[in-house]
Amino acid sequence: MSQAKPQKVKWVKPPKLGLLEQMYFPTVISGMATTLKHMVGTLTGTGDKNIQVQSYPEERPTLPPHYRGVHRLNRDPEGRVKCVACYMCSTACPAHCIDIVAAPSPWPDREKYPETFVIDELRCIYCGMCEQACPVDAIELTTIFDLTGMSREEMMFDKEKLLSVFDKTVAAGTDPVRTQPGRLGVASLPAGAGLTGSSSAQS
C-alpha cells in the first residue's frame, strides 16, 4: 500500500490589533455611521425600502401558524385536563422547567392525572419538545407571544393558568397546528421533513 503524502500545514497567525482597534473606536464609529445613514434615509425617504418597521403595540405582528409561544394544557371533550401525568414532557424538556405531581385519577378512563402541573415560562426555551413527547397531545405551545409579568412568581404557570390559556385560545380561534393532522402537524410530516419545509410547501 502506498503511503499518503503528508499535507503541508499552513499556520495562520491572528492579526495584531492596533491601539485604536483595541479601544474599539473604528467599530463604534462604523456602527454609528450605519445608524445615522438609516436615520437620514428614513427622514428624507431615500432609505432602504426593504427595511420593515412595525409600530408595536399599535401594529400587531402576523406570526406564522407554527410559532411557539406560551404553553397551554388541553382539555378533553368532557372539559377535563387531557394530561395523564406520564412525565414524558418533563423528561424530554432540555431546560427542566416542567414540574408535575401525579395523583390517582378520579375518572375511570385513566390511571393518573396531574394534581399539580407547573411550567417556569422564564426558564423555558420554547423548543417544542414537550408537545412532541406527549402521547395524548395534552400540552401545546400557542401563538401568544406577549408574555409579561412583574415577578418570577407570575411567570410560573400552574395547571389552572395553563387551562385558562387553552380556553382563551379556543375562544379566539387561534388553536396551535403542530399536533393536529395537516401539513403543519408534526405527526403528519414525512420522515426527515421539518416544519420549515412544510410551511413553505403550503405557501
Confidence of residue 202 (pLDDT cuts 50, 70, 90): very low
Question: Could you tell me if residue 45 is left (phi over 0), alpha (psi between -120 and 50 degrees) or otherwise beta?
Answer: left
Q: What is the pTM of this model?
A: 0.66
3 state SS of 149? coil
**C-beta atoms surrounding 128 within 10 Å:** 19
Stretch 161-170: mean pLDDT: 94
Residue 106: predicted pLDDT: 94
Residue 102: predicted pLDDT: 97
Confidence of residue 122 (pLDDT cuts 50, 70, 90): very high
Residue 199: predicted pLDDT: 36
pLDDT in tens, 36-78: 988 887 777 776 666 677 788 898 888 887 889 999 999 999 9
Q: Which whole-number Å values give the CA distances from 142 to 3, 42, 89, in the listed order? A: 59, 35, 16
CA distance 40 to 71: 42
Residue 201: predicted pLDDT: 35
Stretch 185-200: mean pLDDT: 42
Residue 76: predicted pLDDT: 92
19: which 3 cell numbers?
491601539
Asked if pLDDT for residue 125 goes beyond 90, the answer is: yes
Beta strands 139-141 and 71-73 are antiparallel
User: Could you identify the residue written with the cell 426558564?
Assistant: 123
- What per-residue string of b and e applies to 54-74 under the rule 16 or more CB within 10 Å gives b? eeeeeeeeeeebbbbbbbbbb
Give me the chain's average pLDDT, please: 83
Stretch 91-105: mean pLDDT: 96
53: which 3 cell numbers?
418597521
Stretch 192-201: mean pLDDT: 39
Residue 94: predicted pLDDT: 96
Residue 203: predicted pLDDT: 33
Residue 200: predicted pLDDT: 35
Confidence of residue 83 (pLDDT cuts 50, 70, 90): very high
